[in-house]
Structure 1
Amino acid sequence: MAHADDYKNRSYGEIPVGTGFKPGIVVVDFQIGFTDAQYPLGGAPLVMRALENTAKLLKVARACGVPVANCNTAYMNEREMPYWKITAVRETFRRDHPSVAFDERIYDPDYDLTVCKKGPSIFFGTDVSDYFTKERVDTVIVTGCNTSGCIRASSIDSFSHRYRTLVPEDCVGDIEEQPHRDNLRDLGRRYVDVVDLQTTLDYIQSWHQSQTRKAS
């Protein structure tokens, strides 16, 4: 019989990811379809909490010069879509539908790299990794929704691209709390450091101060 501490006993989660030389932030799917309750997938409390906290994070990050990649999910028609099992995605995530617009609380079109992704990960089939390579980013902070889907996929792709990866728990959200907690626990055992907004802000501000000292 498995025990609650079996993962720990087998060394899972023993080594922290830590931070590197430069942070970058990915903002995954904070589009109106997830943040406006008039739409079938919109307005989940954990997602709205994550939206508010990510807006705070991005205000500081942009002021400090941290690269930001922001994405939505949209398709020209159902033929272009993968085989989504979610009716609301198939019916509303069309490029001419108002639900695919970026929520203005987290979006700065004059600052952010903007991509439209077609699968769960912000890295899959986009130029986000190329942008971060050009910007010399080695530490990726993952924000957005949903934790059990696109956040998990983006975090694993970030890990696979060899980035140090941080996921602030209060800057990501899901429809239900249990999958949110379960997926963060599993990601934290294997691939990422699960942190919080304040820890992430402290890291960004410390990084910015170190860059300022080097430049002076």
Structure 2
Amino acid sequence: MSNVEPIDYQKRSYGAIEVGLGQKPGIVVIDYQKAFTESKYRLGGAPMVMRGLENTARLLEVARRNNVPIATCYTAYKSERDMPYWKVGAVREELIHGHPCTELDPMIYQEDYDVVVCKTGPSIFFQTPVVPFFLKERVDTVIVTGCITSGCIRASSIDSFQWGFRTIVPEDCVGDHEEQPHLDNLRDLSRRYADISSADAMIEYIEETGRRNN
């Protein structure tokens, strides 16, 4: 089987059309819980995740000031019995309700503002009330932040696309344990389902929509 080069995707029109920005943004914040942000846990403290955490905190500060809906999630289970068949040992052993690693990182969480859900699959939209929340708020554009790029970010971005939202992933607001899966998955999302942007561009967009909508 021959190698497929990037030019083949371009020639076949992948990524030819931008998703673009709509009239009302909403933000999902995926799994910025202590399991991923504190280095004392096996999944925690990866440099790209910490970069994403910091940039997401900047983005959320502007979003709250402009009344942008925010849905934040963490992953946790009652026991291994009610989990899917995760192949990640740390997920099976640590992401249990009541474990400190399931707590949201305070850098991204504001209790009196954010809508919080516990998810049990990779996507923040899977069997959670996030879609009804966004529909009630008249959101048409979903900004995806959080971790891990090659897992829950990819799954949530595809679900956002499938629900009919314009889907934007700021590259510096998401992170992975390794750089190559991060880049590969963002590249593939950009070919099919989402626009890849930056924290600064999304801050500008939010401020613009805030002036228009308020």
TM-score w.r.t. the length of structure 1 is 0.97
Counterpart selection for 1:72 from 71, 74, 88: 74
* Counterpart residue type for residue 176 of structure 1: E
* Counterpart residue type for residue 100 of structure 2: P
What is the CA–CA distance in structure 2 between the aligned matches of 1:73 and 1:51, rounded to whole Å?
Answer: 17
Counterparts of 1:63-212 in structure 2, within 5 Å, are 63-212=65-214
Q: What residue number does 1:30 align with?
A: 32
Indicate whether 1:51 and 2:53 are aligned.
yes
TM-score w.r.t. the length of structure 2 is 0.98
Displacement of 1:73 in angstroms is 0.1
Indicate whether 1:10 and 2:12 are aligned.
yes
Displacement of 1:20 in angstroms is 1.1
What is the CA–CA distance in structure 2 between the aligned matches of 1:131 and 1:190, rounded to whole Å?
Answer: 25
Question: What root-mean-square deviation, in Å, do the aligned CA atoms of Structure 1 and Structure 2 show?
Answer: 0.6
What is the CA–CA distance in structure 1 between the aligned matches of 2:194 and 2:135, rounded to whole Å?
Answer: 19
What is the CA–CA distance in structure 2 between the aligned matches of 1:121 and 1:97, rounded to whole Å?
Answer: 21
Gaps of 5+ in 2: none
C-alpha deviations, 1:136-177, integer Å up to 9, x for none? 001000000000000000000000000000000000000000
C-alpha deviations, 1:14-60, integer Å up to 9, x for none? 10000112000000000000000000000000000000000000000
Q: How many residues align?
A: 212
Matched residues, percent identical? 61
